[in-house]
Amino acid sequence: MSYLTLVRHGQANTSARDEDSYDRLSDLGRQQAHWLGHHFEATGERFARMCSGSLQRHRETAAGLALDGHDAPEIDPRFNELEFFTMAQLFEAQHGVPIPDNREDFTIHLPRMFKAWAAGEIDNPPESFAAFEARVSDALNDWSHGEGRAIVVTSGGVIGMAMRITLGLDMDAFARTCLAIENTSLSRWLSLHGALALTQFNALPHLETPDRQFARTHL
């Protein structure tokens, strides 16, 4: 059987308001990645294949895991995040909906923006909703096949889309799922006769002890 594990990157630059500024790990994000790597080492879990999106925060997280035999994971840009800040700026300019500055407002903003994006109501987005969904689906299909376990470092929007694809989530549920995904969390799928079955979502085994509760982050 072939298992696919998706890992969200470590905490990035939480004060950023554009794509380039966001795309680097914070000190805590690097620590989260190290702790997850140590967890894999302590439990003896090994991966036959490793992949990362091409964004800096993906590559930094993959390096921080320091998995044996994976000093240079394969880079697959299909696992790159949707350009949230770019689209949020377009959504504000075209529809007058301001970019949130707190988590509570994000819970309202993200479903509205996703629905507008999927309906083609945001002009000139970096990519269409259909293109994003298709590239994630293609990447999941490719990496869920092959010999042995595969691990992929990616982003919350990609993991949320993987959930939408495999569980048939509607737009509201898709947006809420994206908001729930924590930094360096694990979500896992098992390939069964060509289809993916979810076996684990948003797990944080490396942050469960009381002294690490502070390190659980969403943004």
Average pLDDT value for the chain = 95
- Answer whether residue 1 shows pLDDT above 70: no
Q: pLDDT band at residue 219, thresholds of 50, 70 and 90? A: confident
Q: Which of 110, 60, 104, 59 is nearest to 82 (CA)?
A: 110
Place of tokens 């259909």: 130
- What are 115-124's pLDDT values in tens digits? 999 999 999 9
> What pLDDT does residue 105 have?
86
How many whole angstroms from its chain centre is CA 137?
14
Spatial contact of 155 and 9, defined as CB atoms under 8 Å apart: yes
Average pLDDT over residues 12-41: 94
One CATH from 3.40.50.1240, 3.20.20.210, 3.40.190.10, 1.10.10.350 for 3-82+127-210: 3.40.50.1240
> What pLDDT does residue 168 have?
97
Spatial contact of 79 and 55, defined as CB atoms under 8 Å apart: no
Average pLDDT over residues 89-94: 97
Question: What is the C-alpha separation between 179 and 50, in angstroms, rounded?
Answer: 25
- Answer whether residue 63 shows pLDDT above 90: yes
Question: What is the C-alpha separation between 143 and 15, in angstroms, rounded?
Answer: 33
- What are 179-206's pLDDT values in tens digits? 999 999 999 999 888 789 999 999 999 9
Q: Could you tell me the residue ranges of all domains in the chain?
A: 3-82+127-210
The values of phi and psi at residue 80, to 5°, are -70, 150
- What are 147-185's pLDDT values in tens digits? 889 999 999 999 999 999 999 999 999 999 999 999 999
Alpha helix (H) residue ranges in the chain: 19-22, 27-43, 56-65, 84-95, 103-118, 129-143, 156-167, 171-180
